[in-house]
Amino acid sequence: MSFKKTVFISLLLLGFTAMLAQVVFMRELLVVFYGNELSIGIMLAGWLLWGAVGSYASVKFRIARYDKARIYSICQSVLAVILPVTLLFIRSSRGLLGISIGEMIGYIPMMIIVFTGLSAASFLMGAMFSLGCRVWSTFTEDPFFGVAKVYVLEAIGALAGGLLGTYFLIRNFPPMYILVVLGFVNFALSIIMRHHCAGKENVIFRKRIGNVILLIAAAAVFFSGGKYLEDFSAKLLWKGFKVKASENSVYGNIVITEQRKQHSIYENGLHLYTVPDRFSAENTAHLALLETKSPERVLLIGGGMNGTLSEILEHPVKEIDYLELDPTIITMAEKYLPETKGIGDEKVNVINLDARFFIKQVDKKYDCVIIDLGDPYTAQINRFYTVDFFREINRKLRPGGVVSFSVTSSENYVGEELKRYLGSLYISLKKVFPDVLVLPGDRAYFLASNKKGMLTYDPKVLSRRIQERMLDTKYIREPYLIDRFSEERVIYLNDLLNDAASEMDVNSDFRPISNYYATSFWSTHFDEPFFRKILFRIREEWIWLLTVLICLAMLFFSLAGRKRGVERIVLLAVMTTGFFEIIVQIAVILSFQAIYGYVFYKLGIIIASFMAGLAVGGILIEKRIGNIRDYVKIFILVQVGICLYSLVLPFMFKWLSLTDSPVMSWLGSNILLTFIPIIAGIMGGIQFPLANKICAKDISGAGEVAGVSYGLDLAGACVGSLLAAAVLIPVLGIVGTCMLTALVNLTVLAALKVS
């Protein structure tokens, strides 16, 4: 294999490795962080930050072509080892920080895990991109053409990694197997490249040493090395727990643990329920059904395998539709949780569909809808507590029908954070249902009806219904109901929530404010007063004020540097384009989660489609870069496209969320939302090589400028990813975040025009 072909394949492999490793690490980190999508922004920020540092650091190397290739190959060899080591660190990170399983992870530990765990792999790949640009530039007469070529090769490799990983590798192989084999391929190619860099007197010796190392590595990979590391790292992830079963589905990772004769089931690291737990099952089922005068047809969303389903069957119901998106949860529960009952009853219809999609399509009307999903700590769960979903439910309720759900609360003290959290849910229900009742306790039970006066506050009426229906209850009895429906406590809590609701924003699909308030309340459980104060005090108007000030500062920076040429503004535009590109990806990820609810499965495809756009944009500009007369003019046209795209994108999200058509739902989940990042990628793919052409003073500086601009691109993306999921989207909503992105890029467009 020639040296040029070796470099060509290595650059493709770099993109493939970066994308596949990123997807594997993000899925594993989501398990560590209990499926909290807010962590996606932190993950991307950590990945991008270290990539930017690596790219910038490699610019400092002023060495000959073959030395650059040698350093590249050394980085590739080290990367082969770093990949599985990173996964080991991620799975052991909770234990290293002293965080027990089930304990929510605060922002500071989350950032420590991400920025430490991803540092080595991301740094190496950022450095390898910059080195690759400089090596490939020596094969072409025009180094700028070489930079564009490397950009395209990396993007094509990333697209292949995303597609192959999502549709085949992640479905069929454990994560550690994937990373070990990926490391082996990188190591093998690094040895081939090093052969080309060796002096003639050392070639034979190095080939022999390389072949021996390859044989040893191959033996380690294919003779149980991957299995041993997978089993060892899985024990680190669930240290202190006896894992009875663990399976990966297209929707996530499902684990069942056993401890003291109790079984707990986890989805993406988040605790769903423990069995037996009859107290919780009785509260969930009976508090809702006793408020329903004649519960004949019931819709249960989640929680059926924890005993709730069997408790519902105690009532004189004729039909129960039980919705559980992931069938793996049911099959594993049936196999490993023998105490669960009711799933085989003839009255029960088990439906493995997203509840939002099912409710839009079903023609039935229900007497009672029970949502048993827990707190909206994730965007996936939050979509079942929005005013949009409550309206959809209301259309499927019979007159006098009841809706019920419960969330974490406090029996004796409701602090300000908890008040805002419960208040946002309360006002969202009140916007749809005329009769809303909230029962106080360690879990606050929300009950709502579409007919005023249907909910009763009288425990004696509920006790009479228990007798009439001949319910065999252990906990839901008259003394318990008298305490639960204590007039003084109920009035106090509901008055408190009415007061809070007057100041709260409604929780909606594209402005998941309850998710934000839940996170704020969650932060009170940790010694992080700084972050807690920030989360509590952030206001929409403050974000806009700060954005305007930043835009004015960018304009001042542009006008002050007009005499120095357009290069500074172009590099600033590269940074804001990185900001725009990552905002698009996160907005699409969270919108997909809000509309369809299984972004865990599509994560790799969404990121890979963006990389496909980079490849297409790079190819388009690569073929024409030598014939362009005015690079700045084309650069400005792309900047206009970025601004327009930011303004149009949220309207597509809203349109897809409102459609009831099964065809459009399929197109939205499999085509439109999955591949819409391609457009953003195309614009970024065109702009990056143009920026290098504009900023490089001469041919010799092409590789170094590529490293600097790549670092700025990643730095802008790092800032965007850190802000978008944690602050901008929860507070401003997706529409507001896209408008903010448009404003920032419009400012840069104005700076380009006046420079």
**Tens digits of residue pLDDT in 476-494:** 888 888 888 887 888 888 8
Query: Which residues on adjacent β-strands are paired with residue 259?
Result: 262
For the chain, what percent of residues have pLDDT higher than 70? 86
Angle (deg, nearest 10), helices 729-754 and 513-523: 110
Look at domain 1-237 and name its CATH class. mainly alpha
CA pair distance 67, 197, nearest whole angstrom: 7
CA pair distance 289, 296, nearest whole angstrom: 10
pLDDT digits (tens, 9 = 90+) for 492-549: 888 888 877 777 778 888 888 888 788 777 666 554 555 555 655 677 888 899 999 9
Quick check: 11 pLDDT over 70? yes
Q: Compute the average pLDDT of residues 27-56.
A: 80
At 302 the pLDDT is 86
Q: Residue 407: what are its φ and ψ, rounded to 5°?
A: -140, 165
Quick check: 601 pLDDT over 80? no
Q: Compute the average pLDDT of residues 423-441.
A: 90
Q: Residue 103: what are its φ and ψ, rounded to 5°?
A: -80, 125
pLDDT band for position 320 (cuts 50, 70, 90): very high
Quick check: 654 pLDDT over 50? yes
Cβ–Cβ < 8 Å for 574, 711:
no
Look at residue 2 and give its three-state secondary structure.
coil
Closest by Cα among 486, 514, 485, 484 to 501: 514
Round the average pLDDT of the chain to a whole number and report it: 81
Quick check: 449 pLDDT over 90? yes
Closest by Cα among 313, 295, 381 to 598: 381
For the chain, what percent of residues have pLDDT higher than 90? 14
- CB burial of residue 538 (10 Å; 0-12, 13-18, 19+): middle
CATH of domain 282-508: 3.40.50.150
Domain boundaries, the chain: 1-237, 282-508, 538-755
pLDDT band for position 675 (cuts 50, 70, 90): confident
Considering 197-211, 379-393, 701-715, the range whose residues carry the highest mean pLDDT is: 379-393
- CB burial of residue 623 (10 Å; 0-12, 13-18, 19+): exposed
pLDDT digits (tens, 9 = 90+) for 249-292: 777 778 888 877 788 888 877 777 878 888 888 888 999 999 88
- CB burial of residue 244 (10 Å; 0-12, 13-18, 19+): middle
H/E stretch holding 429 reads: helix 416-430
Closest by Cα among 50, 48, 14, 1 to 152: 14
pLDDT digits (tens, 9 = 90+) for 571-589: 888 899 989 988 888 888 8
At 745 the pLDDT is 92
Closest by Cα among 586, 623, 625 to 603: 586
First to last CA, the chain: 48
Tell me, yes or no, if the two domains 1-237 and 538-755 fold the same way: yes
Q: Which amino acid is at 605?
A: I
Question: How far is residue 489 from each of residues 83, 202, 414, 482, measured CA to CA in Å?
Answer: 55, 83, 12, 11
Quick check: 153 pLDDT over 90? no
Q: Compute the average pLDDT of residues 63-91.
A: 81
Q: Residue 635: what are its φ and ψ, rounded to 5°?
A: -60, -45
The token pair that represents 624 in the structure block: 């024409």
At 698 the pLDDT is 47
Quick check: 739 pLDDT over 90? yes
pLDDT band for position 371 (cuts 50, 70, 90): very high
The token pair that represents 744 in the structure block: 């920032």
DSSP state, residue 698: S
The yes/no answer on whether domain 538-755 falls in CATH 1.20.1250.20 is yes
Quick check: 592 pLDDT over 90? no
pLDDT band for position 200 (cuts 50, 70, 90): very low
Cβ–Cβ < 8 Å for 575, 716:
yes
Q: Compute the average pLDDT of residues 100-115.
A: 78
At 369 the pLDDT is 94
At 201 the pLDDT is 41
pLDDT band for position 205 (cuts 50, 70, 90): very low
Q: Compute the average pLDDT of residues 338-342.
A: 67
Q: Compute the average pLDDT of residues 51-71.
A: 70
